Amino acid sequence: MISLAVNDISQFSYDEQVITAVVKFRSKDLVYLEILNAEDEIRLPPPHSTIYLSWQWHSTLWKQAVVIDRIDQSPSPLIIAITQGDPEAIENRRNRRYYLRIPMYIPQGAFKLKKIATETEDISVDGLRCLVPMSFSKDSRIDFMLQLPDRQVKISGTVIRCHPAAATGIFEMAVRLSPEGRDYHVLRSYLDTQS
């Protein structure tokens, strides 16, 4: 069984919103969640509400019920909640996710002369996750290069989320890959060779 740990990112739904939080403290029965999308106009569930936290660990999505004990309002609201029962594993991926650190370069500027250098946190044939030093707009299209062992491939994708990570000034970005072009098929073949 896997449990939420400090610095894990989790999400829950409330009032037709998806709210993202980072675990700031965890004890046997308590979890402290700092809301990451506090800059948005979000509505938080009231105390004594039951919410279902979900988080990713390797290729499995986990969920656990928690009851909100209290909410400390601040620039980043903090939810203190009591865990209920054990986490449950939910299979949610159609395709295998690989925990590969592949060098990644995202061209920037009008002439694409500057590049953000980063690396993938994980990747599948559908998408990838990486850390970047700036925020990208949801649904924006980006082009980037991945440095595979024997060649560089140019891939396109759509940003599905980009929110502050635990480190100050760093953002965690998830990108859905566009399954088109020769380079995408080269990437797919490379992933098929990974164990």
In the chain, where the domains are located? 9-90, 103-192
The answer to whether residues 44 and 20 touch, using CB atoms and an 8 Å cutoff, is no
Fold held by 9-90:
Thrombin, subunit H (2.40.10)
Note the pLDDT of residue 186. Answer: 93
Q: What is the mean pLDDT of residues 36-47?
A: 78
pTM (predicted TM-score): 0.54
Task: State what percent of residues in the chain have pLDDT above 90.
Answer: 51
The domains spanning 9-90 and 103-192 adopt the same CATH topology: yes
Return the amino acid letter for 49. S
Please list the alpha-helical segments (H only) found in 76-156: none
Return the amino acid letter for 111. F
Taking the domain 103-192, which CATH number applies?
2.40.10.220
Q: What is the mean pLDDT of residues 93-99?
A: 74
Locus of tokens 């449950």 = 88
Q: Indicate if the pLDDT at residue 151 is higher than 70.
A: yes
Q: What is the mean pLDDT of residues 170-195?
A: 90
What whole-number distance in Å separates Cα of residue 139 and Cα of residue 152? 25
Q: What is the DSSP string of 129-182?
A: EEEESS---TT-EEEEEEE-SS-EEEEEEEEEEEEE-SSTT-EEEEEEEP--SH
Note the pLDDT of residue 127. Answer: 92
Model confidence band, residue 47 (pLDDT cutoffs 50, 70, 90) = very high
Per the model's pLDDT, the better-predicted residue between 88 and 47 turns out to be 47
Number of Cβ within a 10 Å radius of residue 75: 7
What whole-number distance in Å separates Cα of residue 182 and Cα of residue 108? 23
| DSSP-derived secondary structure letter, 125 | S
Q: Exposed (0-12), middle (13-18) or buried (19+): which is 57, by Cβ within 10 Å?
A: middle
Expressed in percent and rounded to 5, the helix, strand and coil fractions of the chain are: 5, 55, 40
Q: What is the mean pLDDT of residues 116-136?
A: 93
Model confidence band, residue 40 (pLDDT cutoffs 50, 70, 90) = low
